[in-house]
């Protein structure tokens, strides 16, 4: 498995979005302006899907292929989060336990419940709490809920190589991944790699380069060996590499052994068990942050692991719930095979996404939902987009990006108009990802420039 992370280009290469309606756009002129954008010759090979509605009244302002199924990439995460909030509410937590057969403590079970945030530090604290109860030796430590391990078969090889794989287990530690800090050195020298405490041998095939050369990082996991390749500019900030493990069980066992050893507890045998339940006597409980916090990595940073484990938890609690939830909203014909949107067999319509966004804006979770989305030019996956445009600070939206796919769905509050809800998708235009984003962003800027006009004349 490999990881590829493209870093942001220099500020001099960031394109400033300027629309034809730089001084404002009347509502009655919106359709003509949007049509002009999507009919540009550069998009002739692509497929646009756009729906824009007045969020207050529900009035349809623009619809172009709104009922056509599209690849929407990480916009799928909106469905996963919305269904989870509907099922559990904002205060739900996922509990990891250490338990035993009371009063016999010869067998202790470490049981997970799909906590995406569970870390090696949390594990160490649980082991320390167990030691405080006087337990110094465990003949058998069972780890519950770690098998089977699967990767969604419809994920593209290129996405797996970019480090987007999210291998989900009921009990995971550190998101079933290694986090590696990469630091530039003197020109021509290898980058410094600060590796985690893990039984992996890191092979450093990197170098520090001048600003005129491109920056990239990639890695490949071969058994217990990680090969890191790539280059960063001299003097640039350190970069973080997250390296998902396609076979995380050995890493998980290693983290468990280390945590209990540090707590002074001797574990004689570790046994993997396929169970979802703790033993009768719960000795230590660790609760995750509430769901209102766990959705932030999904919506703000488009974290695939968090999205996949949240869907796995939902499926374990009530199979098919996400589909049932969407059907209650009137969203009938979607095809969803994962929680993150990595699969190219997920199909949604722009109309479906706008329906979902409208419902969430009216739900008890509306305030949390709205502020959890990235803000244009400020936060999350939109922090570097829309700067110095009419859309900055006025668009809250979820991004969606795969090769050949650019999508954005959310809300915009024009300076002189009522709030709008929108879904914009562009598929297979034969252009690069930055060009796809630029095309989508130009349309969003037009929406942000909308103004109330006196049409009496």
pLDDT band at 8 (very low <50, low <70, confident <90, very high): very low
Q: Which residue has the higher pLDDT, 209 or 105?
A: 209
Give CA–CA dist 178/248, Å, rounded. Answer: 10
> What was the pLDDT predicted at 217?
87
Backbone angles phi, psi at 158, to 5 degrees: -65, -30
What is the domain partition of the chain in residue ranges?
2-90+319-451, 95-149+248-289, 173-244
Residue 335's Cβ-count burial label (10 Å; 0-12, 13-18, 19+) is exposed
pLDDT exceeds 70 at position 452: yes
> What was the pLDDT predicted at 243?
84
**pLDDT tens digits, residue range 335-357?**
999 999 999 999 999 999 999 99
**Two structure tokens written together for 358:** 């409208």
pLDDT exceeds 90 at position 245: no
pLDDT band at 78 (very low <50, low <70, confident <90, very high): very high
CATH number of 95-149+248-289: 3.50.80.20
pLDDT exceeds 90 at position 333: no
pLDDT band at 146 (very low <50, low <70, confident <90, very high): confident
Q: Of 10-14, 208-212, 416-420, 445-449, which gets the smallest average pLDDT?
A: 10-14
pLDDT exceeds 60 at position 17: no
pLDDT band at 24 (very low <50, low <70, confident <90, very high): confident
Q: What is the mean pLDDT of residues 252-281?
A: 94
Dihedral sign computed on CA atoms, order 245, 147, 145, 81: positive
DSSP-assigned beta bridge partners for residue 258: none
> What was the pLDDT predicted at 263?
97
Q: What is the mean pLDDT of residues 110-139?
A: 96
> What was the pLDDT predicted at 301?
93
pLDDT exceeds 90 at position 284: yes
pLDDT band at 159 (very low <50, low <70, confident <90, very high): low
> What was the pLDDT predicted at 154?
83
Which of 120, 126, 136 is closest to 253 using CA atoms?
120
pLDDT exceeds 60 at position 66: yes
> What was the pLDDT predicted at 152?
79
Q: Which residue has the higher pLDDT, 240 or 281?
A: 281
CATH topology of domain 2-90+319-451: Beta-lactamase (3.40.710)
Instruction: Let me know: does 438 contact 69? Beta carbons within 8 Å.
Output: no
Give CA–CA dist 71/446, Å, rounded. Answer: 23
> What was the pLDDT predicted at 456?
53
pLDDT exceeds 90 at position 293: yes
**pLDDT tens digits, residue range 395-432?**
999 999 998 999 999 999 998 889 999 999 999 878 88
pLDDT band at 197 (very low <50, low <70, confident <90, very high): low
Give CA–CA dist 313/299, Å, rounded. Answer: 17
pLDDT band at 1 (very low <50, low <70, confident <90, very high): very low
> What was the pLDDT predicted at 162?
56
Please count the helices (runs of H) and the strands (runs of E) in the chain.
11, 21
Q: Which residue has the higher pLDDT, 61 or 3?
A: 61
pLDDT band at 22 (very low <50, low <70, confident <90, very high): very low
Q: Name the percent of the chain lying above pLDDT 90.
A: 73
Give CA–CA dist 162/124, Å, rounded. Answer: 31
Euclidean distance between the first and the last CA atom of the chain, given in angstroms as a whole number: 64
Q: What is the mean pLDDT of residues 348-367?
A: 97
pLDDT band at 116 (very low <50, low <70, confident <90, very high): very high
pLDDT exceeds 80 at position 199: no
In sequence order, what are the residues at sequence separation of 6 or more whose Cβ sits closer than 8 angstroms to the Cβ of residue 244? 1, 3, 163, 164, 165, 166, 167, 175, 176, 177, 305
CA distances from 363 to 83, 184, 328 (A): 12, 47, 14
Mean pLDDT: which of 78-92, 93-107, 141-155 is highest?
Answer: 78-92
Please identify which residue in the block is written with the tokens 């990680």.
226
């Amino acid at each position: 498995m490999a990881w590829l992370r493209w870093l942001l280009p220099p500020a001099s290469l960031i394109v400033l979005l300027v629309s034809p309606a730089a001084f404002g756009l009347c509502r009655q002129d919106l359709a003509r302006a949007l049509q002009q954008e999507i009919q540009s010759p550069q998009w002739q090979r692509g497929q646009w899907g756009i729906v824009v509605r007045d969020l207050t009244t529900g009035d349809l302002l623009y619809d172009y292929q709104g009922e056509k199924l599209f690849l929407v990439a990480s916009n799928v995460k909106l469905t996963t989060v919305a269904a989870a909030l509907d099922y559990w509410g904002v205060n739900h937590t996922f509990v990891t336990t250490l338990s035993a057969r009371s009063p016999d403590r010869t067998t202790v079970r470490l049981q997970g419940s799909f906590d995406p945030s569970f870390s090696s530090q949390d594990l160490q604290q649980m082991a320390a709490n167990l030691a405080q109860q006087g337990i110094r030796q465990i003949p058998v430590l069972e780890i519950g809920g770690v098998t089977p391990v699967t990767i969604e078969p419809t994920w593209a090889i290129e996405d797996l190589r970019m480090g987007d794989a999210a291998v989900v287990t009921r009990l995971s530690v550190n998101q079933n991944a290694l986090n590696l800090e990469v630091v530039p050195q003197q020109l021509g020298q290898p980058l410094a790699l600060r590796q985690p405490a893990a039984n992996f041998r890191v092979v450093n095939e990197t170098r520090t380069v001048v600003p005129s050369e491109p920056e990239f990082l990639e890695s490949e996991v071969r058994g217990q060996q990680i090969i890191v390749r790539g280059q960063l500019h001299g003097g640039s900030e350190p970069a973080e590499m997250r390296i998902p493990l396609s076979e995380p069980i050995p890493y998980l066992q290693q983290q468990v052994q280390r945590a209990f050893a540090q707590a002074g507890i001797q574990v004689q045998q570790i046994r993997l068990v396929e169970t979802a339940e703790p033993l009768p006597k719960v000795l230590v409980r660790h609760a995750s942050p509430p769901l209102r916090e766990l959705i932030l990595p999904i919506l703000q940073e488009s974290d695939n692991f968090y999205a996949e484990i949240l869907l796995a938890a939902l499926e374990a609690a009530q199979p098919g719930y996400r589909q049932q939830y969407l059907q209650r909203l009137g969203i009938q014909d979607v095809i969803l095979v994962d929680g993150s949107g990595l699969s190219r067999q997920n199909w949604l319509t722009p109309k479906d996404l706008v329906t979902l966004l409208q419902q969430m804006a009216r739900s008890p979770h509306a305030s949390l939902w709205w502020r959890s989305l990235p803000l244009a030019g400020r936060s999350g996956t939109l922090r570097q987009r829309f700067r110095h445009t009419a859309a900055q600070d006025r668009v809250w939206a979820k991004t969606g990006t795969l090769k050949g796919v650019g999508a954005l769905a959310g809300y915009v509050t024009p300076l002189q108009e009522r709030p709008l809800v929108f879904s914009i998708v562009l598929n297979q235009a034969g252009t690069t990802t930055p060009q796809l984003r630029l095309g989508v962003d130009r349309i969003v800027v037009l929406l942000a420039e909308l103004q109330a006009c006196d049409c009496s004349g």
